[in-house]
Chains A and B, each alone.
Chain A
Amino acid sequence: MHALPRRTVLLGAAALAGTARAQRTIDLGLPGGPSERPLGSAFPQKGEMIIQRVRPPLLETPMEVFDRHLFTPNDRFFVRWHWGDLPTAIEPAAFRLKVHGAVARPLSLTLDRLLALPRIDYAAVNQCAGNSRGLFEPRVPGAQWRHGAMGNARWTGVRLRDVLDLAGVRPGALAVRFAGLDQPLVDGAPDYRKSLALDHARDGEVMLAFLQNGEPLPLLNGYPLRLVVPGWFSTYWVKMLSDIEVLDRQDDDYWMTKAYRIPDTPGANVAPEAKAYPTKPVTRMVPRAWITSHADGARAPAGRPLALRGIALGGDRGVARVELSTDGGRSWTAAVLGPDEGRYSFRRFEHVVLAPAAGPIVLLARCTNQAGESQPLEPNWNPSGYLRRVAESVRITIA
């Protein structure tokens, strides 16, 4: 044992303890690769996840979870942390939420005090701005997600507006900035902070959530409190929320002014060679739909009805309709929608193709939201891999 090099010892111990990198792998089908990722259940309060990165954790939800569950189980909900100094123990009695800045009464709130405020509850999808980045062509650097950097949950919490009112926002305030307990590992690196315009922060919907699907949040999803900004990408849904700062100026922080920005162009689309174009922060989500009943490369029996199903997201509006194509987008048929769980939730869709043509076919799903916004058939592109919106395709063979 003493003669073994350190690497071997580590691998041996990991094999016994259940390593983060288990034996099972999944091929994410990312163009040009590398496409294979480990599947593993070694993360606390998490079942089997696609392990994109162990440290800081990037865990993706396998598509089969979305096929089985309209509300993503907490133990399969995706995980994304920016910085490595991440608390692994939370003592709620000692936890405080600071509210400061341009307020009449700076506060240090206990969880008991927060939980005594009136509660609200709604379903909302939390989706990474870079969800599906691994499918961008030409490929772009960053977390190489397929479609699983998203999840749908019922969130229960208190209104941000009520918390701001406790502190008394001073006249002239413009924005509210949020930070969590996670910290950079290196001195001088930009702490992860995000901000919302004051009117948005006070809209009565933005929530400090302490329950996810009726249970306390998994630590890796932000226990004990996370901001919920329904309809907006998860970059704003600050986890382990511990600090609320009311600003009397625009936020000039790195994470708002340099990172998480998209081209200020239609569809956040630019040509790969484009250099000079205006940018703006990525904010609201757009309609998307995913066929979950069939994976790329699946086979379905000829001469039998083909039952298709999936999930759709309206973005910051409800789903109005989902259309399916079995001929690569030449013709479309309206799918049957499942129950409406609210404008920010996933919505199920299904459709039975009575007599699918034999041979290879290209399935497409396209969501249109209540504002009439739909999905293009050509992918958008930007150098950060944000806001993918194309109607996704699945290639199967009827035989």
Chain B
Amino acid sequence: MSFEPVLLRNVGRPEARKVEGYRENGGYRGLEKALEMEPDAVIELVKDSGLRGRGGAGFPAGLKWSFIPKAVDKPKYLVCNADESEPGTFKDRVLMEEDPQQLIEGCAICCYAVGASACYIYIRGEYVEPADILEEAIRDAYEAGILGDNVMGKGFKLDMYVHRGAGAYICGEETGLLESLEGKRGQPRIKPPFPAVVGAFGCPTVINNVETLCNVPHILERGALWFKSIGTDERNTGPKLYCVSGHVENPGVYEFPIGVTMTQLIEACGGMWRGRQLKAFIPGGASAAILPADKADVPLDFDQLAKAGSMLGSAAVIVMDDETDLVRSVYRLAKFFNHESCGQCTPCREGTNWAELVMKKIVSGHGKPGDEELILRICRNMGGTTLCALADAAVGPLRSLVQNFPDEVAGWLDGGGPATEPRRYFAEEVTA
């Protein structure tokens, strides 16, 4: 399956980091077009394209923009979510490193549409080099008159800043991110009010993922119809980046129409690693339910994956071969969520801790029949009862382990061990 890249078209063209090189390949035509339109018409166009958020939740981008109140005399902001901390996800890094102007253009169009005068790109603190590349690209965009007091000579004023995080998964959650941007601990806020009304510094704020915003220039340039012609149906439109990691020959970021299948992705990645067989995969990052190999032909889009009991999330596709111990895999993810819970909500703080302890008990050889039910009970207590979706995220892999792979768990109980040789991938000895 081949697909002419849209979002990745400037990969391997380092000159595109500068305005001039970016323009040579068609860049900034989308912004030019937007500035000729009424802001509301830009929002309508993005709505019409069907573009859904690429950060995890899949919320329609144009609709989100339309929530920004018009008649307020407060500043409005765009905050670009470049925190990218969902395990398995690395597409936003590639977009920022390879094509920073594309992101700047997308941000500028959004700001024009909603009337924002400043944009903060909140980038995870570990991305030191990508942050430098972005800073450099922004500087160049100011010099070229793309940013500043008179954007492309059209009298629109826009400032853009890179803001570095400092290492905390929860700062990817949009209100945790806002707290962090304001100089606080990144603890999510109670919603409502939603950021569109009370966001950064108490002002109306749009928060969008890097990849979401990178789609926008292309929608402006080539139209909603073109965008809708790509993908599985009218609810799943446009090109999509898939981050493939784990047991494939060539892990990496792959661009396809949204709705490609696991089978097609594996083929694009040069097949399974060392010719092994697919046992399971996580289609949407650490927060998504693990699916068995027989789901490899499900289109990886928002709705088909939901129907299959998982989610597209950030499209971080983690591939696991037939020698992978899924129980150890889920134990590792349970440790992650326990480490990252911000601790505000009791069900999440306690639940992620219990989940790690129970998984640890099992992988240290002390599991007992009935532990499956215990895991499900922990999941029930965590789901839907918290301030943010981290608790639901922690439930994703846990519940799917018990429900989709009962034999894997059963094998470990009563002094048993993994269904496969565990030391191949998990060298660390876990002791209770």
Partners in one complex: no
Binding site for B on A (CB under 8 A): none
